[in-house]
Chains A and B, each alone.
Chain A
C-alpha cells in the first residue's frame, strides 16, 4: 500500500464547476497535510495546508481533512482554465521522524471551456 494515494486522472471539469480532488494516506499518526499545484514542466507550488480535522478555506480553494478516515481533499470552486495542472497531495507521516513530506503521485486536472 502506498503511503499517499491519489487518482492519477485526468479529472475533467467544465469551466465554472467545482473540482474535487481526493487523497488517502496510510500513516494514522500523520499530522500535517499540504496541497501543491504543479504546472507541466514547472516546480510544485504550495496552495493549501491543513493540520486539524474539518475545512479550511482560502479564496476558491477549500481543503478538507478527516483523520479518522485518513483522507484529505481539495475543492476548487469556480474552476478556471488556469487551474489546469497536476495537484500533489503531501503528508507528514509520523513514521520516519514526523519531519519530512511524503508525496502522492498527483491528480491531473483539466478545466474545459
Chain B
C-alpha cells in the first residue's frame, strides 16, 4: 500500500528539548516536504527536498531543520522547541521534482504540543 508514515502521531514535550519527527514514504517519490497546519492560517510549507541531499526552505523554516540522506526518509528536527511550534505537522511526498504535476500525498500527521 502506498503510504507516507510519520512518527510519532502525538507528542508532548517541554521547551528546549530537542526532538525529531520521522517521515518515510514507499512510493519512490523524489519530492518530499513538511507542512504545519494552524487554525486560521492553513497549511504552510516548512521545508522541502527535491531529492537526496537537496533541501531548501519553505515559507516558515525558522526553528526547524531537515535532512535527506535517503530517498525514502525526510526527518524534521526541532533543536530547541518553543510553544509557538505547537501545531499539527504533516509530511508529504510527490512524484517528480515538485508538487505541480500531481499534488502532494500526505502522511497521517503529528500533533505536537510544546509546554
Contact = CB atoms under 8 A, between A and B. Distances in A.
Nearest to A32: B100
Contacts of B99: 32, 92, 99-101
B7 to A, nearest CB: 14
Contacts of B107: 43
Interface size class of A (residues with CB under 8 A): 20 to 34
B20 interface: no
B106 A100 contact: no
Interface residues of B, number: 23
A99 B98 contact: yes
A9 to B, nearest CB: 13
B61 interface: no
Contact of B45 (A34, A41, A43, A101): A101
Interface of A: 31-32, 34, 36, 41-46, 49, 88, 90, 92, 97-101, 103-106
Interface of B: 33, 40-45, 48, 58, 90, 97-109
